[in-house]
Amino acid sequence: MHPITEFCRDKNITYRNFARLIGASAPFVTQITGGHRKPSPALALRIEEATGGAVSRMELLYPEQKKGGQPNP
């Protein structure tokens, strides 16, 4: 599950409300969580700040790596 999806589920907020929080559109958030788009570095930082670090900008910008720097198989 995508980290943004987990965050939204855990906090019981919709993608629409999350998108407003970070200054993006809900369809764009859906594209990010679906793996079809990556956020810009600036948006990734806003996401990290909005989630209090629960979703890191590094995992958004480099989804091919797992936490801890290990590549996904």
13-42 confidence digits (pLDDT tens): 999 999 999 999 999 999 999 999 999 999
Percent pLDDT > 70 in the chain is: 89
Cβ atoms of 63 and 32 within 8 Å: the answer is no
User: What range defines the domain where residue 28 resides?
Assistant: 3-61
Domain membership of residue 13 (yes or no) is yes
How far does CA 57 lie from the centroid of its chain? 8
Domain membership of residue 12 (yes or no) is yes
Average pLDDT of span 56-70: 79
Structure tokens, 25: 């559109």
pTM: 0.84
Residues 6+ apart with CB under 8 A from 27: none
The number of domains in the chain is 1
State residue 2 phi and psi, 5-degree precision.
-65, 145
d(CA 18, CA 71): 28
pLDDT of residue 66 exceeding 80: no
Domain membership of residue 71 (yes or no) is no
